[in-house]
Chains A and B, each alone.
Chain A
Amino acid sequence: MALYSDKVMDHFQNPRNVGKLDDADGIGEVGNAKCGDIMRMYIKVKDGVITDCKFNTFGCGSAIATSSMATELIKGKPIEEALQLSNKAVVEALDGLPAHKIHCSVLAEEAVRAAVKDYYDKNGIAYNPDDFQIHDCEHCHD
């Protein structure tokens, strides 16, 4: 399908890091079933570094591909670096997404943040809540 780049199709067909982490240090879930996509991100953290990361996604091809790419981009990285992950970086790493699929990359970015926030919360680590705002999807509230 010409809709997606080869990179997107590769990550859709062979998603990296699919699954759950039973002993996860942080779990983040974003999205809404009503809107048609939910991402759940699991992270394992040691000495401030994300040592393992897995995801579960309900959604379209690009939702699965952006989840997969996001896990690849943060695995093995210090938390501070993972928090710098932007949706734009995910899109670039996938060689682009169709315009109406950009929101999938936003979800991927937010899933990472949500997982880190959960880790901070569980471990009593202080943070600035402004850095962890999840974008509001008006569509989900009607």
Chain B
Amino acid sequence: MFVYADNAATTSVSKTALDAMLPYLTENYGNPSSLYSFAQKATEAVAQARATVAACLNAEPREIYFTSGGSEADNQAIISAAKAGARKGKKHLISTKFEHHAVLHTLKKLEKEGYEVTLLDVHEDGVVRLEDVAAAIREDTALVTIMFANNEIGTVQPIKEIGALCREKGIPFHTDAVQAAGHMPIDVKEMNIDMLSISGHKFHAPKGVGVLYAKKNMPLFNLIEGGAQERGRRGGTENVAGIVALAAALKESIDNMEANTAKIIPMRDKLFAELSKIPHSKINGSLEHHVPGTVNMCFEGIEGESLLLMLDMNGICASSGSACTSGSLDPSHVLLSLGLPHEVAHGSLRLSIGEYNTMEEIDHIIEVVPKVVQYLRNMSPVWDELEKGQRPHLI
């Protein structure tokens, strides 16, 4: 059985999105900037997509900027707020320790350019505290950027409250909503969001297209100079088909959100319930504040990459925050930010479920994971020591 359980990494393109985009690759291939009526079909499609996305977020169409994806949107939002702040002598940026690297690495770059960055703790449950945000705010704070939902552990942040606080203090508030869009309701007005990043391929649009929402009057600086596309804020001929697909997929996800959530949550809860029966396992992140589909657990005494390879052999696609899968010597910064010891964080597994998954697939995962964990533990000297009491169990 083949089970795709890595929907937080990417998703398949939905039929709705594919059908919507195909004509803009073949028949209506005009450049939206061209004058003739043939190209106007593409122009109109982009305008329509912009209106659709705006409606999905309760924003205005002119507040929607199409980008190449979530990372570009994060970069542009943060760099813009930082530059605008610097002009007023404000060079302090607030974020959290467990942001996506698109945010963290942008902040790192700004730090080298003379900005000061405060990264807030996310506590053991992976949720930022409002009082921590309040305490970090200074006279010279130029931006607060806090992700809507975490990509590895799925915890949801108190966005509306943080937004209200920032608004009260007159500080721009950006949220990386890549893991939330299409999966949870987002209302930029009600949630007091000034800027927000979205990536299409996380909700069944193709890869390579995203959105930056920027509230009107938010200063935006270009990352890409060029033509007058995107109100002059992003040069380059529009990815028309991708944009059309993104709008169609976002609308479809939102229209079906209730039904999708009702389908996903029982699958997720079954995974949590059954996999928690594995001795010395641990669920990572608060379950109270959680996106529907993400399951992140640690299994003591084993290493994540070998776990993923074994799951792959059994047809299961999943991910891990172990060092060997992160490409560095350290396990995932997200898991470490929860206070997990390195040796525990190495044994992490993320399964992310979508509405295309079935309960039969969940049952396959539940059958395979305990066996694989046991197999790897049987050859693990760490597990041997844990079992003999020569090493204390940490979870």
Contacts and interface: CB of A to CB of B under 8 A. Distances in A.
B296 interface: no
A36 B346 contact: yes
A100 B380 CA distance: 22
Contact of A59 (B303, B331, B384): B303
Interface in A67-92: none
Interface string B339-350: 001110010000
A60 B381 contact: no
Given A35-B323, A36-B323, A58 B380 contact: yes
A1 B343 CA distance: 25
A61 to B, nearest CB: 5
A36 B331 contact: yes
A3 B382 CA distance: 26
A13 interface: yes
B220 interface: no
Interface in A9-38: 9, 12-13, 15, 18-20, 29, 33-38
A13 B306 CA distance: 10
Interface residues of A, number: 29
Interface residues of B, number: 25
B329 interface: yes
Given A36-B322, A38-B382, A39-B381, A63 B303 contact: yes
A56 B342 CA distance: 20
A40 interface: yes
B336 to A, nearest CB: 11
A64 interface: yes
A11 B329 CA distance: 23
Nearest to B326: A36
Contacts of B302: 58
Question: Looking at chain A's contact residues, is the secondary structure mostly helix, strand, loop, or mixed?
Answer: mixed
Contact of A38 (B306, B341, B381): B381
A15 to B, nearest CB: 7
B384 A56 contact: yes
A7 to B, nearest CB: 14
Contacts of A55: 379
A122 interface: no
Given A33-B342, A36-B323, A58 B309 contact: no
A35 B326 CA distance: 13
A85 B302 CA distance: 27
Given A34-B342, A36-B331, A12 B306 contact: yes
A100 B323 CA distance: 11
Residue of A9, A20, A33 with highest tally of chain B CB at under 10 A: A33
A57 interface: yes
A50 to B, nearest CB: 19
B389 interface: no
Contact of B329 (A13, A15, A35, A61): A35
A40 B381 contact: yes
Contact of A36 (B342, B379, B383): B342
A139 interface: yes
Contacts of B341: 34
A56 B380 contact: yes
B330 to A, nearest CB: 8
B382 A60 contact: no
B152 interface: no
B313 interface: yes
B130 interface: no
A1 B324 contact: no
Interface in B373-388: 379-384
Contacts of B303: 36-37, 58-60, 63
A19 B384 CA distance: 11
A1 B313 CA distance: 10
B317 to A, nearest CB: 11
B163 interface: no
7 contacts: A12-B306, A33-B342, A38-B381, A39-B381, A56-B379, A57-B380, A58-B382
Given A36-B343, A60-B305, 19 more contacts: A12-B309, A18-B379, A19-B379, A20-B384, A29-B381, A33-B343, A36-B303, A36-B323, A36-B342, A37-B303, A56-B379, A56-B380, A56-B381, A56-B384, A57-B381, A58-B303, A58-B380, A60-B304, A64-B379
Interface of A: 1, 9, 12-13, 15, 18-20, 29, 33-40, 55-61, 63-64, 100-101, 139
What 8 A-B pairs are tightest by C-beta distance, nearest first? A60-B305, A60-B324, A33-B343, A40-B381, A58-B380, A56-B381, A58-B382, A36-B346
